[in-house]
Amino acid sequence: MTGRYGAGNGVSGMALLEYFYPDIYLDSTYEIDFEALYRKGFRGVIFDIDNTLVTHGAPADARSIALFERLRGLGYDTMLLSNNKEPRVKMFSDAVHSRYIFKAGKPSPVNYRKAMEIMGTAADTTLFVGDQLFTDVWGAKKAGILSILVKPIHPKEEIQIVLKRRLEWIVLFFYKRQSERNRH
């Protein structure tokens, strides 16, 4: 195999996996220290919705509404970035009072950049929170912004996501192993 990732270019299989590694990996969106990130200069937060803020297809709940109020109080601008259709995204957006981009085409970085443009932020002042490596995290990394991967809120998912989760497990295995090595 030759070409971008083929033989002779110095990119190993392990290095390829690093394209999908999140910058931060946490159990939940609701444990992110947004105050500390704000002190570091972050001003915009882009969120995935399903299994990041609420279970798949669920409306905004008291916890997600409170989170967006807290973020506004801190001085953050927010944006919802979803591959879902507009009715789903708009319903959630109306409840949390955040702007949104639907049918975002993640992992393409185009709409991550559009979100930053709308919020008036730059790559070094924006962070992304999502639950999937191959769409959310990869797109954020391609756009040059901090990526925070959270564990899915609920294990019941559509079949195409279940299949991707099996591949994600492999990437996360090596990510965790490398993170452990870096700590020692």
pLDDT tens profile 27-73: 999 999 999 999 999 999 999 999 999 998 899 999 999 999 999 99
**Torsion-angle region of residue 103: left (phi > 0), alpha (psi -120 to 50) or beta?**
left
Q: Residue 164 — pLDDT band, cuts 50, 70, 90?
A: low
What global pTM score does this model have?
0.81
Would 94 be classed as within a structural domain? yes
The confidence score (pLDDT) of residue 165 equals: 61
Listing DSSP states for 61-74 in one string gives -HHHHHHHHHHHHH
Q: Residue 5 — pLDDT band, cuts 50, 70, 90?
A: very low
What lies within 8 Å, CB to CB, of 64 at 6+ separation is: 53, 54, 92, 95, 96
Would 98 be classed as within a structural domain? yes
Would 175 be classed as within a structural domain? no
Please report, rounded to a whole number, the percentage of residues in the chain having pLDDT higher than 90.
68
Q: How far apart are CA 59 and CA 158, in angstroms?
A: 17
CATH number at residue 102: 3.40.50.1000
